[in-house]
Structures are given as structure tokens and as C-alpha cells.
């Protein structure tokens, strides 16, 4: 058996792992690279394998850095099933067509810039199309958590709750070959325990081979109480004392719903007042509806919170904008608004318009609630940029930039170490992935110190025979 690390190796995005056995070849995730000028070119490179030779895909969750190249895979000839959880399958119905629409729109803009020559038009084509996305969705095979699946080729797998976003999974894989069984565990993205809405990540006790994420492998988040105090302070100061707006770049899947949960609970408890909250992302609106359809995956506190059960409830301070005109109107609001919009790393979508109008204003604030990959606009803001380019304009950064790490959907180092401590015996080999190099190396060293495990941090394209 061989594993090839084709993405999220010493970086966070583009998750993709190729597993080859005596009887089958399959992928775990097939994600898009995000952030940096090289990302579009990297996503366009041919796959490092023959897509037609892949028998099936196991998908940990719906985030585009894990699922975003699946339509490209289908376009290139992959015809097998994509196994994932029920909730992830529902989310893909929204996310993959949306991603395809972005690819088509970007290609059309590039063609217009290239001019009317035949050569100029031919040089630009979408990474994949809406038709590719729809064909890919027909290959998705939903499964329940904890249900055993036999995709073929001597492989048995099971999806366990990862607590990261709705439908996210840790995948246990048993490979039978040459008269022996090897158990592989892919952590996917692990959630932070004791956080609202989703359940804690499922403990796993045994693995021969462990592939574990390390997004925050070198740091810890603030606890929930301190995080909420920080959130309240930022909102009170910006909205009421400074009379500005709070702009919240948030991933449409997971982060938007968690921010809404916190705001609603704090308002119900009387700790926040006179809120005006706008969710300006059609995808986030659709995903929020899907989220409410999967209440069985919520923790008990989220189920009990009054008013959280459905988007149709009349929450007077909350408005979901739909049209472009409604989105543009938000840019005329000068004070008192909390505007939640995608994308979470500020690289595309309506959030860029809101940043363009609010970043130059000292009375406003930007609330960063999730990981910002290198090369993204969000990362430049977090790193303290005084000026940024948005839509070709040089925009001064005068608004306050606040990173609230305690709202992250990723486990911090402490939580990763606690999850790893559930293993009753050391895995034969552990691979640390899905973290920038410093974070991955730091977490690998932590695992060695904690458990004396055999740990490696693979580079992109690294192959391991097992």
C-alpha cells in the first residue's frame, strides 16, 4: 500500500491524499488550493494521477479546500462514487454549483480582458462548469455517521463525527491486502471541543496509520467565556461608542452559523442590545437553511436555544440579504450594523465591497473569526497591512482589525493533543498535515514529546510505502 500526499502538505488548503493498494486506488478529499497568486495556476495543473484510474473518493467535509476540485476530477474522467455524510452531501448541492459559477464568471471576465481575438478567447476556459458540478453531484453517495461502508477493493470505512462543521467526518479506513488488515485514520478537520452547536469530535482509539490535521498545531485558543467577553467588548465599543460598523468575513459553511448562534444567545441573555445583523451571502443563507434541517447533529445546548430552530422564525434584528441591490444598500449604512459576508478569507465575493467601504473608517472594525491562509487579503489584514488593494484601488486600513481565535472551528494545539491521547497504543506511523510548515512541525514535535510516536511532516508529492 502507498499513500501520496498531493495537497495540504506543509500548507493548509488543497487537501488530497491518494491511497493505492493491491486492489484499488482511491482519494481522501480533492480540495482546491486557496490563497496566494499561485493558487489559480496550481488548481489548473493536471492531477498527479490518472483520474480514470481512481475507483472512489472518500470526502471528509464540504469546505472547498477539501471538495472544490471534485468537479474537475469528474471532468477529467473520474466516474466512481464519492462517499460522504448525509449533511455534507446536502451542502455540496449548494457549494459545488456556486464554485462552478465562480469559475465560469472568472473565465468570462478573463476573456473580456483578453479582447475579441480568437486566440484570446481560446486561452481562457473555466476550471470546470456548472454541468461538470451537476455531473459530479450525481456521483455522491451519502452515508450516516458510524455506518460501515464497503466501497470495494478490500476496503471498509466508517465516518465518525469530527465536530468541525455540519457533516464533517473523521474517516476510519480498513485495508485488507496480502492476508493482513491495516487501519488508516484520516482526522479531516477536527473541531474545538466544548464549543456550541456541533458535538465534540469522536474519540478514536486505534490506528496503524494516522493522518492528522495541524491548522492550529502551534497555538491555543482563548476559552469560550473569554472569547465571548472579547466579542462583546468589540461590538459595544464599535457599534455604540464609536458609532461604526462591524464587518465579519465568515465562511458560508460553519462560521456564519456559529457567529449567528453566539449573537443570538448573547442577545437572549441580555448581554448584547439593539443589534442590527445582516447576513450578506446567498450561499450562507442557503447553508443556514440546510443547517436547520440537520438539528439531530447539534449538541443539546443548541437544540434548546429558543429561536435557533429555524430560519423562518421572526428574529427582529436579523436580515438575510438576497439581491445585489440589497447588498449594495448596506454600503450606505454608516453605523450600528454587523455585516456577515463571504468569503471567509476576504478573497472574493461581497465581503470585498464591504471592506472597501469600511476599512478606511477609523470608527469601524473588522472581526476575523477563522484561519487566514498565506497570500489572502484576510491574512494581509491580520498581519497589519496599512494599505490593501481591492478591485484595483489602494485602500487605507484605518478600521480596527480584531482576530477572535476562540471562534475558530478548528481544534487548537491543546484540543489536538487531547484527541490524540485517546489512542490506546501508538500508531505505527503518524503524518501531520493541513498546517502551515511552522504549525505542522511544532505539532509533530509535541506528539513526539507527549507520546514518543513516530511522526513525519510530509511535503507536497511525498510518497510513503506502508
Instruction: Give per-residue pLDDT as tens, 43-63.
Output: 999 999 999 999 999 999 999
Domain boundary among 407, 438, 453: 407
Look at the chain and report how many structural domains it folds into. Answer: 2
User: Residue 56: its pLDDT value, please?
Assistant: 98
Range of the domain at 451: 2-219+409-465
Whether 199 and 230 map to the same domain: the answer is no
- Across 65-76, average pLDDT: 97
Instruction: Give per-residue pLDDT as tens, 116-174.
Output: 555 555 557 899 999 999 999 999 999 999 999 999 999 999 999 999 999 999 999 99
Average model confidence (pLDDT) across the chain: 90
Percent of the chain at pLDDT > 70 equals 95
Residue 310 has pLDDT above 80, yes or no: no
Instruction: Give per-residue pLDDT as tens, 6-46.
Output: 999 999 999 999 999 999 999 999 999 988 788 989 999 99
- Across 65-79, average pLDDT: 97
Whether 215 and 287 map to the same domain: the answer is no
User: Residue 386: its pLDDT value, please?
Assistant: 95
Q: Distance between CA atoms of 460 and 466, rounded to whole angstroms?
A: 18
Whether 198 and 91 map to the same domain: the answer is yes
Whether 323 and 214 map to the same domain: the answer is no
Whether 154 and 281 map to the same domain: the answer is no
Whether 108 and 207 map to the same domain: the answer is yes
For the ranges 102-111, 385-394, 441-450, which has the lowest average pLDDT? 102-111
Instruction: Give per-residue pLDDT as tens, 250-280.
Output: 877 777 888 888 888 888 889 998 899 999 9
- Across 345-370, average pLDDT: 92
Instruction: Give per-residue pLDDT as tens, 426-442.
Output: 999 999 999 999 999 99
Whether 321 and 415 map to the same domain: the answer is no
Instruction: Give per-residue pLDDT as tens, 234-244.
Output: 999 999 999 99
Domain boundary among 387, 407, 427: 407
User: Residue 48: its pLDDT value, please?
Assistant: 93
pLDDT band at 283 (very low <50, low <70, confident <90, very high): confident
User: Residue 256: its pLDDT value, please?
Assistant: 81
Percent of the chain at pLDDT > 90 equals 68
Whether 117 and 141 map to the same domain: the answer is yes
- Across 367-394, average pLDDT: 90
Domain boundary among 407, 422, 448: 407
pLDDT band at 313 (very low <50, low <70, confident <90, very high): low
CB-neighbour burial class of residue 279 (10 A; exposed 0-12, middle 13-18, buried 19+): buried
Residue 180 has pLDDT above 70, yes or no: yes
Say which CATH number the domain at 309 has: 3.40.50.10890
Residue 198 has pLDDT above 60, yes or no: yes
Higher pLDDT, 378 or 283: 378
User: Residue 349: its pLDDT value, please?
Assistant: 81
User: Residue 372: its pLDDT value, please?
Assistant: 85
pLDDT band at 312 (very low <50, low <70, confident <90, very high): very low
- Across 406-425, average pLDDT: 93
pTM, 2 dp: 0.89
Whether 148 and 262 map to the same domain: the answer is no
- Across 67-96, average pLDDT: 97
Whether 140 and 28 map to the same domain: the answer is yes
Say which CATH number the domain at 76 has: 3.60.15.10
Whether 136 and 76 map to the same domain: the answer is yes
Q: Distance between CA atoms of 371 and 63, rounded to whole angstroms?
A: 13
Residue 371 has pLDDT above 90, yes or no: no
User: Residue 258: its pLDDT value, please?
Assistant: 82
- Across 443-458, average pLDDT: 96
- Across 285-299, average pLDDT: 80
Whether 279 and 333 map to the same domain: the answer is yes
Residue 86 has pLDDT above 60, yes or no: yes
pLDDT band at 291 (very low <50, low <70, confident <90, very high): confident
Residue 77 has pLDDT above 80, yes or no: yes
- Across 364-378, average pLDDT: 88
Q: Could you tell me if 222 and 405 are in contact, meaning their C-beta atoms sit under 8 angstroms apart?
A: yes
- Across 181-190, average pLDDT: 98
Amino acid at each position: 500500500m502507498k499513500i501520496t500526499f498531493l495537497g495540504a502538505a506543509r500548507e493548509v488548503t488543497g487537501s488530497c491524499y491518494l491511497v493505492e493498494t493491491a486492489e484499488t486506488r482511491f482519494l481522501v478529499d480533492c480540495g482546491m488550493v486557496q490563497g496566494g497568486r499561485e493558487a489559480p495556476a496550481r488548481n489548473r495543473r493536471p492531477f498527479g494521477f490518472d483520474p480514470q484510474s481512481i475507483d472512489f473518493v472518500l470526502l471528509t467535509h464540504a469546505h472547498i479546500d477539501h471538495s472544490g476540485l471534485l468537479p474537475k476530477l469528474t471532468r477529467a474522467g473520474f466516474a466512481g462514487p464519492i462517499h460522504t455524510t448525509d449533511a455534507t452531501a446536502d451542502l455540496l448541492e449548494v457549494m459545488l454549483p456556486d464554485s462552478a459559477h465562480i469559475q465560469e464568471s472568472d473565465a468570462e471576465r478573463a476573456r473580456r480582458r483578453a479582447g475579441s481575438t480568437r486566440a484570446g478567447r481560446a486561452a481562457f476556459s473555466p476550471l470546470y462548469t456548472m454541468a461538470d458540478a451537476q455531473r459530479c453531484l450525481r456521483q455522491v453517495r451519502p452515508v450516516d455517521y458510524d455506518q460501515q461502508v464497503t466501497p470495494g477493493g478490500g476496503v471498509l470505512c466508517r465516518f465518525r463525527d469530527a465536530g468541525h462543521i455540519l457533516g464533517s467526518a473523521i474517516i476510519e479506513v480498513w485495508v485488507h491486502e496480502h492476508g493482513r488488515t491495516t487501519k488508516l485514520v484520516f482526522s479531516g478537520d477536527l473541531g474545538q471541543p466544548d464549543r456550541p452547536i456541533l458535538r465534540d469530535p469522536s474519540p478514536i482509539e486505534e490506528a496503524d496509520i494516522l493522518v492528522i490535521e495541524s491548522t492550529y498545531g502551534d497555538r491555543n485558543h482563548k476559552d469560550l467565556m473569554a472569547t465571548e467577553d472579547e466579542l462583546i467588548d468589540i461590538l459595544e465599543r464599535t457599534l455604540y461608542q464609536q458609532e461604526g460598523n462591524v464587518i465579519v468575513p465568515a465562511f458560508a459553511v460553519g462560521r456564519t452559523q456559529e457567529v449567528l448562534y453566539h449573537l443570538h444567545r448573547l442577545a437572549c441573555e441580555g448581554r448584547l442590545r439593539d443589534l442590527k445583523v445582516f447576513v450578506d451571502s446567498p450561499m450562507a443563507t442557503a447553508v443556514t437553511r440546510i443547517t436547520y434541517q440537520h438539528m439531530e447533529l447539534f449538541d443539546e445546548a443548541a437544540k434548546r436555544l429558543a429561536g435557533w430552530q429555524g430560519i423562518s422564525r421572526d428574529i427582529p434584528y436579523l436580515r438575510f440579504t438576497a439581491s445585489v441591490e440589497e447588498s449594495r444598500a448596506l454600503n450606505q449604512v454608516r453605523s450600528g450594523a454587523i455585516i456577515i459576508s463571504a468569503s471567509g478569507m476576504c478573497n472574493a465575493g461581497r465581503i470585498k465591497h464591504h471592506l472597501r467601504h469600511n476599512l478606511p473608517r477609523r470608527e469601524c472594525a473588522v472581526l476575523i473569526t477563522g484561519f487566514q491562509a498565506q497570500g489572502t487579503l484576510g491574512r494581509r489584514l491580520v498581519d497589519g497591512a496599512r494599505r490593501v488593494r481591492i478591485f484595483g484601488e489602494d485602500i487605507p486600513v484605518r478600521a480596527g482589525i480584531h482576530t477572535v481565535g476562540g471562534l475558530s472551528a478548528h481544534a487548537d494545539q491543546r484540543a489536538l493533543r487531547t484527541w490524540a491521547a485517546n489512542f490506546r497504543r501508538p500508531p505505527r506511523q503518524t503524518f501531520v498535515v493541513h498546517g502551515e510548515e511552522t504549525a505542522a512541525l511544532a505539532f509533530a514535535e509535541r506528539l513526539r514529546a507527549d507520546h514518543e510516536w513516530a511522526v513525519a511532516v510530509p511535503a507536497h508529492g511525498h510518497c510513503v510505502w506502508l
